[in-house]
């Protein structure tokens, strides 16, 4: 004989279920709280059989099944049966489950969502360099590169393919970046704002605080050293194109004054115009003879050009006056010596 016992928590009280399987007599008995529910034949050759009964209006089931040379017994409470109690319980459990789910969702929305939104926004902003990032100084390492190069920094390997390459340092580690620029018709390279680009040039670079390998060089933000180089090139080009209304001895002072005001009022665009004032439009550079002439016709440009011309003329007159004074003093000293 084999015995099975189960406890079932009903609506009002706990219920005790008993099963006895008499192998010799091939009989199965089932009792509920001591009361006999089933006393039926169960042939040893039968594979399985189910016995159903109600507890507190809930449909319950005991299943007996053959398992090789043994038997297994399962008690199942059909909580969601078609009885009124089962339907009521199903509705109650459904509301409770959804209530818990809605409560958890509310907690998530009120507490976790703002945090998740902040982290996601921070990550996206850090990756999207147009929205911000961190700054460093980049150095142009190669111009007109043809073959791809591979770099590994702090375990991160990345490949450079564009023709202008640069590097910058972050916390003691060097990172590399590249950008594609078209060469001019003469074979050289220029920044997008029309100034010449050479290896060793220094510009600010914007990079992701989370992943410095994601970077963007800013040609409109050269370092102070690079800016001074561009000012020197503009001054040199100014001397190659002397104005007709300024004495040749005053070219240097005049160009110095002009470049100061050009950069003050027009920034890098002004230096690019001075540098490219002899370049024909057919070379398809951003600044050329035509753009320089337009700048010359600006009211602001005309005003500080007159200012620079007046300054160098005033300086010439002052130098001439000082020279005359010095010459008069020298003559006086000479006459005094002769009189003695």
For the segment 240-252, the average pLDDT, to the nearest whole number, is: 85
Query: Taking the complete model, does pTM exceed 0.75, yes or no?
Result: no
Minimum mean pLDDT range among 47-61, 123-137, 168-182: 123-137
For the chain, give the percent of residues with pLDDT over 90: 39
Burial class (CB in 10 A: 0-12, 13-18, 19+), 221: middle
Cα end-to-end distance, the chain, whole Å = 157
For the segment 303-330, the average pLDDT, to the nearest whole number, is: 68
Give the span between the Cα atoms of 6 and 338, in whole angstroms. Answer: 143
Cross-strand partners of 139: 167, 202
What is the structure's pLDDT at 274?
93
Q: pLDDT tens, 135-190?
A: 899 999 999 998 999 988 888 888 999 999 999 999 899 999 999 998 888 788 99
What is the structure's pLDDT at 248?
83
- In degrees and rounded to multiples of 5, residue 200 shows phi and psi of 95, -10
CA 118, chain centre distance (Å): 14
pLDDT at residue 133 above 80?
no
Polymer length of the chain: 340
User: How confident is residue 102, by pLDDT bands cut at 50, 70 and 90?
Assistant: confident
pLDDT at residue 13 above 70?
yes
Listed residue (79, 68, 73) closest to 8, CA to CA: 79
For residue 151, count other CB atoms closer than 10 A to its CB: 16
Q: Does domain 2-78 have CATH number 2.40.128.180?
A: yes
Q: pLDDT tens, 273-292?
A: 999 998 888 776 789 999 99
Give the span between the Cα atoms of 203 and 206, in whole angstroms. Answer: 10
For residue 13 the two structure tokens come to 């009280």
Listed residue (62, 63, 69) closest to 23, CA to CA: 69
CA atoms within 13 A on the CB side of 319: 8
């Amino acid at each position: 004989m084999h015995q099975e016992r189960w406890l079932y928590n009903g609506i009002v009280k706990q219920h005790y279920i008993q099963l006895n399987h008499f192998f010799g007599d091939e009989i199965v008995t089932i009792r509920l709280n001591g009361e006999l529910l089933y006393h039926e034949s169960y042939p040893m050759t039968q594979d399985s059989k189910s016995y159903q009964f109600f507890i507190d209006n809930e449909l319950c089931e005991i299943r007996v099944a053959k398992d090789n040379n043994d038997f297994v017994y399962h008690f199942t409470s059909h909580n969601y049966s078609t009885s009124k109690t089962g339907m009521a319980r199903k509705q109650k459990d459904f509301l409770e489950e959804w209530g818990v789910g809605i409560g958890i969702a509310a907690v998530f929305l009120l507490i976790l969502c703002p945090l998740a939104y902040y982290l996601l926004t921070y990550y996206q902003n850090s990756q999207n360099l147009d929205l911000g990032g961190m700054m460093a100084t980049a150095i142009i390492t190669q111009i007109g590169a043809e073959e791809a190069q591979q770099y590994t920094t702090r375990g991160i390997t990345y490949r450079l393919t564009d023709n202008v390459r640069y590097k910058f340092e972050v916390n003691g580690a060097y990172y590399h970046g590249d950008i594609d620029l078209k060469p001019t018709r003469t074979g050289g390279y220029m920044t997008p704002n029309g100034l010449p680009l050479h290896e060793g040039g220094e510009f600010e670079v914007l990079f992701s605080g989370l992943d410095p390998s994601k970077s963007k060089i800013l040609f409109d933000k050269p370092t102070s050293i690079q800016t001074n180089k561009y000012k020197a090139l503009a001054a040199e080009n100014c001397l190659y194109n002397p104005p007709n209304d300024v004495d040749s001895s005053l070219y240097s002072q005049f160009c110095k004054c002009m470049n100061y005001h050009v950069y003050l009022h027009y920034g890098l665009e002004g230096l690019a115009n001075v540098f490219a004032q002899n370049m024909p439009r057919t070379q398809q550079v951003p600044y050329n003879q035509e753009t320089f002439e337009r700048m010359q016709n600006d009211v602001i440009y005309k005003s500080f050009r007159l200012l620079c011309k007046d300054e160098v003329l005033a300086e010439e007159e002052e130098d001439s006056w000082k020279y005359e004074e010095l010459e008069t003093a020298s003559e006086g000293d000479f006459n005094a010596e002769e009189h003695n």
